[in-house]
Chains A and B, each alone.
Chain A
Amino acid sequence: KQEVTQIPAALSVPEGENLVLNCSFTDSAIYNLQWFRQDPGKGLTSLLLIQSSQREQTSGRLNASLDKSSGRSTLYIAASQPGDSATYLCAVSLTQGGSEKLVFGKGMKLTVNP
C-alpha cells in the first residue's frame, strides 16, 4: 500500500529564507508527483507536476525535484514571503483497481513571518 509522508508537519520561518519541503513515498511505481498549496478553508491549488520520467520542474520561486528510486521529492521555495504561508501537500499518482488515483501526504503547514 502506497504511503506518502511529509515531515515536519509544521514549519515557521522568518521572511526571506530559502526553504526545502520534503515528501517521501513507499512505492516507486508512480505516474507522477504533484505539489499543492492549500489555504485555510480552501481547496487545493496545483503548484507543480513532475512526471515519473522527469527529475524536476520549476515555476517562479518554486522548484520541485523527484527521485523515484529513493521515493523522495523536495519542494524548494526561494526567498520566502509571508504570502507563502499555507499548507503544502504532495501527492503521488498511481494506478489502483484500473483507475489513476492520487495518494496524499498529510501536508506541512508553513508560516512565514514578516
Chain B
Amino acid sequence: GAVVSQHPSWVICKSGTSVKIECRSLDFQATTMFWYRQFPKQSLMLMATSNEGSKATYEQGVEKDKFLINHASLTLSTLTVTSAHPEDSSFYICSAPDGRAVNTEAFFGQGTRLTVV
C-alpha cells in the first residue's frame, strides 16, 4: 500500500513552546490530509482536514490558532502546536487518502507522541 511518513515519532517540549509535526506522502500526491488526536484507550478524533493550497478545515471545538496547519505541497502537511501546554500531550496521527486506490483507501503515518512538561 501507499506510504505516509510522519516525523518526529516522539517529542518532549517545555510548556509555552511550539512544536511542528510533519506528514509526508512518499509515493503519491495527496491534495487532502487529515490530522487526528488520540488519547489513551480512546478512539481517533479528527482535528482538521488539511487542503493543499488552501486553508485547513477544523472540526468543532478545535482551536485553529493553537493548531496551525500548513499544506504547502502535494506531499507535505505540517501541524504546529503553538504555546503548548501539558493538556496538549497526546498522540497525533496524520492520514492521507490515496486517490489511486479504489474508493480512496486511507493510509496513516506512524504517529507522534507529544509530551509537554
Contact B111 A41 (CB under 8 A): yes
Residues of B contacting A45 in the complex (Cβ-Cβ under 8 angstroms): 108
Contact B34 A49 (CB under 8 A): no
B64 touches A (CB below 8 Å): no
Contact A34 B105 (CB under 8 A): yes
Contact B103 A42 (CB under 8 A): no
A104 to chain B, nearest CB (A): 4
**Range of interface residues on chain A?**
20 to 34
B115 touches A (CB below 8 Å): no
Chain A interface main SS type? strand
Contact A51 B102 (CB under 8 A): yes
A99-B32, A100-B97, A107-B43 as given contacts; A42 in contact with B49, CB under 8 Å: no
Kindly report which residue of chain B lies nearest to residue A36, judged by CB atoms.
Answer: B108
Interface string of B62-102 (1 = CB under 8 A from A): 00000000000000000000000000000101010100011
Choose from A31, A41, A46 the contact partner of B113 (Cβ within 8 Å).
Answer: A41
Interface string of A85-114 (1 = CB under 8 A from B): 000010101000101111011110000000
Residues of A contacting B93 in the complex (Cβ-Cβ under 8 angstroms): 43-44
A32 touches B (CB below 8 Å): yes
Cα of A97 to Cα of B108 in the assembled complex, Å: 22
B110 touches A (CB below 8 Å): yes
11 A/B residue pairs, CB under 8 Å, sorted by A: A41-B111, A44-B108, A46-B107, A49-B103, A51-B103, A93-B103, A93-B106, A97-B57, A100-B104, A104-B43, A106-B41
Closest 9 pairs (CB-CB, A-B): A44-B108, A43-B110, A43-B111, A104-B43, A106-B43, A43-B108, A104-B44, A49-B105, A51-B103
